[in-house]
Structure 1
């Protein structure tokens, strides 16, 4: 599945590189002699805000493979690989999407992820640990969950949400930068344009606001997890989907070895509480199990 951390990291990096480059080059048609042109500023931020989001989306498969060491199965070499390919094919056909790339990543923990910019050109990968320990029915349910993410277009949806968030992060960061710079230069009546305070403050504000705004994207991500669980139940069977989540919960005490930048892509993520829970991409497994049980 697809959500943030790796996605956010790539997205934030693209935004910051674009912002710093444009500031160095002095590109800022929204800065006028009379102050900020809010309409031009909003348009500027929308262009680069959505650019960062969609660059992240287009790179998502490549970054996922690199981040997890996923090995794509071109020709099955074992019965396990053949079963995995056949299962992904069966559930993809049932969901009405094109056959994704299929891979296995070398992790002892039970996890899986799906990503890609197009539901007919996606990637579904499963950890070796999940294949080794889950029953075929439980593993099939996990694959159904991931294919549900693809069929629901979750990566594109989150990219659009991230684009909107990016736009307003950049927008308000520059307003804050302009306000701080104006305050610092209030006695300099002869100064024109903006000073270094604007550039430094806007970049710092963009980083801080970007981190805070990621809580919004994470909230949407958690809602999409419930939908993917429901899709997995429809594709692979409700009882099997519940059994797979129960198995994941039984292994929850084991530390996650998936890279932090990839945790949002998996079927499970690290357990968090308090404020940190606002920045997790997955709801608690207990809540997901209860949601499936109550929807019978």
Structure 2
């Protein structure tokens, strides 16, 4: 946790510095008036620029980042393939066509004992479906098809873009509210200390509001998993989708933990027991909803 807070603070300072330089170059001179009060319209614009810039940059490089972070080996559908690779590509392409996708996702495999899969990408035209070697080794053909159908449903539903827009809105309010709160706090100290208190208060309040905002993101992430399960059932059949979820229950302990939330939300299952801080609902609840 300490390392994450340190990186958050460093990232926050660098983002603020970069955005401030850009805004100054285009003539933006801050969100306080000459009388020392807050210009709420200017602050909202400032907050939206920061909030959505980070989200859209993350979306734009999501496919590249996922490949690097997970060590995904992309399969060339026109090149030589082994039996495992050919079967995965065939399933992804067949289910993608059934979902009405006009552009086939990239297909990849990452070397990991965890039994999992994920989908990502900035758009339906530039998406990626990747499965772990553990999933291919442990699951039967029907379960693998159910898992892949779930991931294709995420792409067809446009979940990556929706999550980005939601994160951008949350980020905007986090930046906006943290600066309003910091401005109020800085009014209660001596003028020569106000800027130091204001800066520190921004960091503290942004951490607090980010945690609260993440609850909204986690809640939507759990909701979209139910929706993707239903979409997977439509594509592969309810029996295969249910069989896939039931099979995943046996391998939850082998799921890799401790990764960044942006990666965890992409997968079909996660290690953490379902809670308000979980990106995925409980598997038993997902099976019950599907039935």
> Do the aligned partners of residues 53 and 215 (structure 1) sit closer, same or farther apart at CA in structure 2, a change above 3 Å counting?
same
Higher relative contact order (CA 8 A, sep 6+): 1
CA gap of 1:12–1:55, structure 2 versus 1, over 3 A, is farther
Once residues 241 and 8 of structure 2 are traced to their aligned partners in structure 1, the CA distance between those partners, rounded to angstroms, is: 32
Q: 1:66 aligns with which of 68, 75, 79?
A: 68
Contact 1:71 1:103 survives alignment (8 Å) = yes
Match of 2:287 in 1: 289
State the shift of 1:179 in Å: 1.1
TM-score after normalising by structure 2: 0.88
Matching residue within 43, 47, 50 for 1:48: 50
What is the aligned partner in structure 2 of residue 4 from structure 1?
none
Q: How far apart, CA to CA, are the structure 2 residues paired with 1:16 and 1:210?
A: 15
- Which residue of structure 1 aligns with residue 87 of structure 2? 83
Q: Aligned match of 2:118 in 96, 113, 123?
A: 113
Residue 211 of structure 1 corresponds to 211
2:149 aligns with one of 144, 151, 159: 144
Match of 2:229 in 1: 229
1:29-44 equivalent positions in 2, closer than 5 A: 29-34=30-35, 35-44=37-46
* Secondary structure of the corresponding residue to residue 132 of structure 1: helix
1:1-296 maps to which residues of 2 (within 5 A)? 17-22=14-19, 28-34=29-35, 35-74=37-76, 75-97=79-101, 98-185=103-190, 188=191, 195-252=195-252, 254-257=253-256, 260-261=259-260, 262-272=263-273, 277-293=275-291
Gaps of 5+ in 1: 1-9
Unpaired runs of 5+ residues, structure 2, are: 1-6
CA RMSD of aligned residues (A): 2.3
CA contact (8 A) 1:68 1:258 kept: no
CA distance in structure 2 between the aligned counterparts of 1:83 and 1:114, rounded to whole angstroms: 17
Q: Give me the TM-score of the superposition, normalised by structure 1.
A: 0.87
Decide whether aligned partners of structure 1 residues 11 and 54 sit closer, same or farther in structure 2, where only a CA change above 3 A counts.
farther
Measure how far apart 1:21 and its partner are.
4.1
SS in 2 for 1:49: helix
- Once residues 250 and 268 of structure 1 are traced to their aligned partners in structure 2, the CA distance between those partners, rounded to angstroms, is 12
Change in Cα spacing, 1:230 to 1:268, as seen in structure 2 (3 Å) is same
Aligned mates of 1:121, 1:23 — CA distance in 2: 32
Q: 1:124 to 1:258 in 2, by over 3 A?
A: farther
1:138 Cα deviation (Å)?
0.8
- CA contact under 8 A between 2:163 and 2:217: conserved in structure 1? yes
Q: Is contact 1:46–1:163 with CA below 8 Å preserved after alignment?
A: yes
Moved more, 68-77 or 243-252: 68-77
Displacement of 1:115 after TM fit?
0.3
Question: What is the total number of aligned residue pairs between the two structures?
Answer: 275
